Structure 1
Amino acid sequence: MGDVWRAYDTVLDRPVAVKRIRPQAITSPALAEEFAKRFQREARITARIQHPGVPQVYDAVLDEDSHERLFLVMELVDGVTLTSYIAPQRPLPVSWAAAVAAQVATVLSYAHDVPVIHRDLKPSNILVARDGTVKVLDFGIAAILRTDVTKLTATGSPIGTYQYMSPEQVRGGRITPQADLYALGCVLHELLGGQLLFEAESEYLLMFQHVNAAPTPLRQLRADVPAALEELVLDLLRKAPESRPADTQEVYARLLPFLPPPGHAPEPGEAVPAGAPDPTALFRRPYAPRARTAQSGGPAIGSGADAPAPPLVPPVLAEVNAGIEEAYEHSEALLEEERFAQAAEVLAEAIEPAARAFGSESRKVLGLRRNRAAVQLLGGDYRAALPEFETLADAYARISGPTSEPARACRAQAARCRAELGQVTDALAELQGVLNVVRNVDSDVSEEAVELRHNIGMLLLAQARTVEAREVLEPLYQDLCMVFGPEDETAVETAEALALIRLDLDGPAST
C-alpha cells in the first residue's frame, strides 16, 4: 500500500523516513478511505507507544481531501530486517534468536499496555539496528482494544500475513494480545529452524494449517535448541489463545535463561552471523557507553581491493562530470541553508561513479572526498571527518608528496577534528608537525602558518597551559600587526587571548 522514502528534515538537518501511500494502490474510494484511516491510526498509535524499539513519528500530514498528501515523517533506522538472516543452511545462534524475541516481547508489552495489538508481526516488520536494538515496524493495521472497535478493512477479510496469522485471526474471531504472542512464536520458530512454520501452495491451505496442523518441534530441526526453549515456542503456538503464555512479561521471563548475563562474553558457539548486528549486546552491556571509535584508519583510498574500472566512453565520462558539477552546486546551496548532513550526502553520492570513471585516487575523486570531509567538519560531525582527512592526507602524500599543500591541509584538518573530540595532546603534536613543514616551504607569516600558529596557541590556552600559549601568541600578534595591521580579525582575537593570559599570570595591575 505504501512507499518508504529516505528524506531529509530541512529544519533539523537530519535524515528521516517518509512513508506515503502509493497512488497506484488506490483503486477504489473504499480503499482510499481504508488507507487514510490506516495512516492516521499508525501515526497516533506509534506516537503513543513510548519505547526505543518503536521508531518515532516526527510528523504526520493527513489531508483528508487529498490522498496525494497522506504521509508520515518517521525516525530513519539504520539496520536490516530479520528476513535477511533466516536461511535453512545457516542456523542462527540460540542466544541471538532469543535476544531478538526478548526485545520484541518488551516492545509488545509497551504496546499491549496502551492497549494495542500489532496484528501483523513478521520478520519483515522486525528490524535489527546496527547497535543491536530491535525495532518493531508498521503499526498501520494495529487494533486499539476497546469494545466499539470496528474492523479496519474495506473487504471484511482478515488483516495480517497468513504465514504468521493466529487461528483466531484466520477464523475472524475476537483478537487479543495473545494473537501477537502466536505471531512471535512463528517468528522465533523460523529464526531457530531456518524455515517457515507452515508452508503451502495456497493461502487457504496455510490458514487450514494454522487452525489444525501441529507445529514441528524445534529439536527435530536442530538438536542444539534447549528443551525449555522448544517448550516455550510450542506454548506460544497453542491453537487456543487462553493456552498460550499469559502475557509478554511471562514470555520475557521464560527467555531470560537463554540470554547472556551482563558482562558475559560470547561463547564460541554464540558467534553472530558475519556482518550482522548483535542483539545480545544490550543484555551483555546494558546502558553501556557507545563503543570507542578507532583513532585512525578510515577507508583506504586506492587499496588493492579496488578493481580497475573498465575504460568509459566519452558520453559516459561527460555524464559523470555533469554529476560531479551538479553535486558541488547542490551541496553549496545546502550549505547556505546550513544543512550540513544533507550536503555531505550529496557529495558522497557522486564519489562512487566518479571513482569508477576516473580512478579512486584521481584529482576529482579526492576533491569530492575532501569537500565532503570539510562539510562534515563544519557540521560538527568530527568522528566521520577525522578518518576521512587522515586517509586523504596519506593519499595526497603518495601522489603529491608529504609536504604538498593538500597533504598538509588534510593533516591540519584531522588535527582540528581531534581537538574537537578531546584528543588535544595528539592534535597539538600534529598541528606542530604541519607547522614545521610549512615553515620549511613557506613564510612564517603565510596565511597557512598564521592559522596553524593561532590554532596551537588557542588550544594551549584552552588547556590552561598559559605560559606556553603566551610564548606562541605574543610573537604571532607582533607578526600579525606588522603584516596585516592591528585591525586584522585574527590579530584582534589574539590580542584578546593575550589580555586573558596577562590577567591570569600577572594579576590586574599588569594590564
Structure 2
Amino acid sequence: MADTDTRLIQGRYRLHEVIGRGGMGEVWRATDESLGRHVAVKCLRPLGQQRDPANLTVLRERFRREARVAAALQHRGITVVHDFGEHEGVLFLVMELLEGRNLSQLLSDNRKQPLPVPEVVDIAEQVADALAYTHRQGVVHRDLKPANIVRLGDGGTVKICDFGIARLGADIGFTSRLTGTGIAMGTPHYMSPEQIGGGEVDHRSDLYSLGCVLYEIATGVPPFDLDDTWAILIGHRDTVPAPLRSHRAELPGYLDTLVLDLLAKTPEGRPSDAAELRDRLASGRSSGAWTLPPPAAPALPPWARALGTGRPATSALPARPAVPGQEAAAALTVAWTRTPGSDGPDRTAAGASPELVAVLAGRHRAGLGLGRLGRWQEAADLLRTVEHERAHVLGADHPDTLASGYELGFALARLGRPAEALRRFETVAEGRARTLGPDHADTLAARQETGYVLGGLGRHTEAYAVYESVLAARERTAGPDHPDTLRCRHNLAYTLGRIGRVPEAYAAAREVADARARLLGADHPDTLATRYEVGHALGGLGRWADALAEYRKVAEARAGALGPRHPDTLNARYEAGICLGRLGRAAEAEELYRALVTARASTEGPEHPETLRARHGLGVNLGRLGRWDEALAEAREVAGIRARVLGADHADTLASHRETAIALGWLGRWEEALAVHRQVTEARTRTLGPDHPATLTARADEAHCEQNIPL
C-alpha cells in the first residue's frame, strides 16, 4: 500500500496516511466508518516461504489466535485491539489510535538526555502494573522496548503497544537474524539472555526488557551501548551493567538496585513478577529516598577494574554484582571447595572466587544456547571446557560440574557419538548418586539418558533394565502420574517393542497415552508421541488397519497444532504410508510418499535423511505396484545419495542396496541381484556381526538369488 492510498478495506476501515513503518509492515491512520472513530491499522505482510499456500493457512490460524489474545487484554495501560482480519493477502490489526509520544521519541525530544526522575518512576510503575495484568493472563510481550511504550498527551497515561506482535512477526517471517547464527532476534538492546540463547521465555523475560528500558530512560543510554550487534548480545548474556548511579548520581538508590535486579542474567535472579516490581517501586517512592550520595566505585576484582562500561564479555568477566541470597550461594560454593586432604572434593578454595564461578555459569549457559541453535560441535567444545574448569575449581562431583557433563552428553549424542555420550551420562549418574543420592531426580534423569543412548546403540535389553530400575524409583519418589514418571514409562513401552515383547509394549503405551491425555490433554505433544508408539505396537501386532487409524489421528492433531509440514507431522504421515503398503493399498501409499518427498525436500533439503527415507518408501511401493524399472531407478539413486551423505555401511544405505537387489531379481537379473546382496551381507557382517538378524536376512536373500540363477 502506498502513502497516497486512501483505501477502504473490509468495507469499513478507510486508510488515510502511513504514520509508522517497521520490519513487519506499516501502521496507518484510519477511520472506522461503521462507528465513526479514528483508529490505527497495522498491516503485516507475509514474506518468503510464508507465501506458500500451505504455510499461509497455518499463519492465518496463528494470526487469529494471537490477535484474539491481544484483543482480550483490557487494561488502561495496554493498547486496545478492536478488530483483525485479512485484505488482499495482507493481515491487519485495528487498534486504538494513540495521541502521544513513545519513550524513544521522548528521549529524542530531550536530546538523548535522561528523563526526570519522578517521570522515570511513574513510567516504571504504570508499565509494571500493565505487565502484572498481562502476565496474570498468561501473555508475554517478548519485544518490550522504548518504541513500544507510549506516553499519551492526556497528562501522563502510559500504554504498552504490540502485545502478540513479536510472536506474529516470527510466524510471518520478519524476524531479523544475526549473520550466520540463526538467533531469532527481537531488538538487541532490550533482549533477555534467555531470548539470546534460544531458551524458554516466560514473564521474567519481559521484566529484563523493562529493566533495559528503565536503564535507558533513567541514564540516557541502554545498558550495553555498543555499535556491534553481537557485542550487545554478548553483553546481555555475560557482562555486568554499570550501576545507574555511575551515569547519574542523583538517581535514588532503591531505583538503581531495582533496575539491576531486573537485569539479572538468570530469570530466578529477577523479581518474581511484575506485581512485586510495582510494590517495590511504590515502597521506594513513598520512602522519599530521592537523593542519596553518589555511589562509590563498583566493588570489582582487581582484574576487572580497568574495564570500560558495557564492554562485550570475555571469559574473564563477572556475571553481576551481589544480589539478595548471594550469601547462601557463596556458602554452597565454599562447601564444595575444600583444600586437599579434607573430606570434600580435592580442590583449593582459592580457585572458587564468586566471579569465576559466575563466569563459568555464563559459559555453561552459552553452551546451552549453542545447542538450541543446532551448533552442537561448538556446544560440545565449550561444555567440555566448562566441565573441566568446573571440576578444577569446584570438584568433579559438584552439581554444577555434573550439570555441564550432562549437557555435554546431550551434545555428543546429537553429534552421532553415542558411545561417548553413554560414558558421559554414566559418569554423571554415578557422581550424582554419590552427592545427591540414588533416587534424586537429577540422578534419575542421567540414568534415564543412559537408557536412551543404549537404545540408540541397539542395546535394547540393557536399556530395558535401566528404564525398569529408573521407573521403580520414579514411581516411589514422584508418583505414577508425574510427567517424569510418564516419560520413563513411555521409554519403557518403546523398548519393550524393540526387544520383541510387542503385546506388553502395546499395553504399556496405551496406558501412558491415556494418562498423558488425562493430565496434559489429548493433543499435547507428549500425548501424541505416545499415541505414535501405540501405532507402532499395533503394526508389530499385525493390526495394520488399527495402526493406520492411529497414525492418521496423530498426523491430523500435529498438523493442527504444529502445521502440516512440521517434521513430527510428516513422521506420522510416513508411518501411515507404511500401514497403507502393508494393507495392500500401494497406490495410496505411492501418492502419500510423493507428497512427503516434496514436503521434506522443500523444508529440509533433497538430500536430508528424512527426504531420502520418504523416497525409499516411494520406491518400495512402486515395486508393490509392479513398476520395477521405476523402483530400481529410485532405489539406486537413493542408495548412491545415502552412501555419500550417511556412509557406505550405514543401515539406511544398506536398506536401499537391498531394495536395488530385490528390484533386479523381479526383473530377472539374478546375477546382478546376487552381487548386490553379497555386498549387503559383507557390510552387515562387518558392522553388526555374523549372527545379527539383519545379517541372517541378507544371507537368506543371497540363497534365494542363487536358487533362481539358471544353471
Could you say which TM-score interval applies, normalised by the shorter chain?
Answer: 0.3 to 0.5
Higher-helix-fraction structure? 2
Q: Relative contact order, CA 8 A, sep 6+: which one is greater?
A: 1
TM-score for the superposition, normalised by structure 2: 0.33
TM-score for the superposition, normalised by structure 1: 0.46
